[in-house]
Amino acid sequence: VFLLMRLVLLTVLAVAVALLFFTDRVVLRVQQLFYPVQTWALPALTENGFVVQPVPAPLAKSLGRFYTSNLKRELEHFEDNEDHIIFGKTDLLELSPKLESSCETTLKPILEKWSSHKLEEPVVYGIRIYRSGARLVEHVDWPSHNVISVVINVAQNITAPWPLIVYQHDGTRHEINLKPGEMILYEGAKVVHGRPSILQGDSYANIFVAFRPVGWYQKFGWYAYFAGIAAKLGLTDLTT
């Protein structure tokens, strides 16, 4: 146990040092050292780690209307290295408070049924519009919050498929090509996922929404790795 804790502490220290002193590429490589530890340590909450479903029709229509009617608004622009995983140009279209609330209330019961867990602390990240040349490095999300997540494809204008790569719990690799009006539910903190290929076309617009199980932060929080290791060793049950 102490050897594993030391390994985790050394990894955390390496990430901290990389964030302070090194280039984004080095930071990314150090962060990637975390992923095998995290995917092993955290409990699986579903059978495979992901599932693709249609977006409920009322929500899909509301999102589509909002997207097309607000594209001329001034968007928040990003270019390269956001959180060291998004490369290329992206824009962010913030949702209205009413539509954000609609996302939360519509998606929460769907995710709770799929994960068999009561969920709390919703985070809605708005509509991320990836531009030509963008890519999303394969990664896992922060274990303190983005545990049960959903990505909705709102719209796309592409000349070649831009699949989401997802690895289910047994390591099987899947290429998911969402269509507008479809969504993927997935265990963001445990399942490795990303879009490592280059986006070909004009735009690809997604909404990302995340929850965590009730009590998750008390059990995990920033100590997710230690708690997960303890659970693996049979010292505590962290899946209920």
The average confidence (pLDDT) of the chain is 83
Structure tokens at 147: 């545990």
Beta-bridge partner residues of 164: 176
Pick the more confident residue, 184 or 72.
184
Q: Quick check: 91 and 129 in contact, CB under 8 A?
A: yes
- Cα–Cα nearest to 120, from 240, 212, 238, 220: 212
Q: Quick check: 167 and 173 in contact, CB under 8 A?
A: yes
pLDDT in tens, 206-216: 999 999 999 88
pTM for the complete prediction? Answer: 0.81
Instruction: Check pLDDT > 80 for residue 164.
Output: yes
**Average pLDDT of span 29-40:** 71
Least confident piece of the model among 41-45, 73-77, 157-161, 231-235: 231-235
pLDDT in tens, 135-160: 998 988 877 778 999 999 999 999 99
Q: Quick check: 139 and 193 in contact, CB under 8 A?
A: yes
Say which residues have a Cβ less than 8 Å from residue 171's Cβ, sequence separation at least 6.
Answer: none
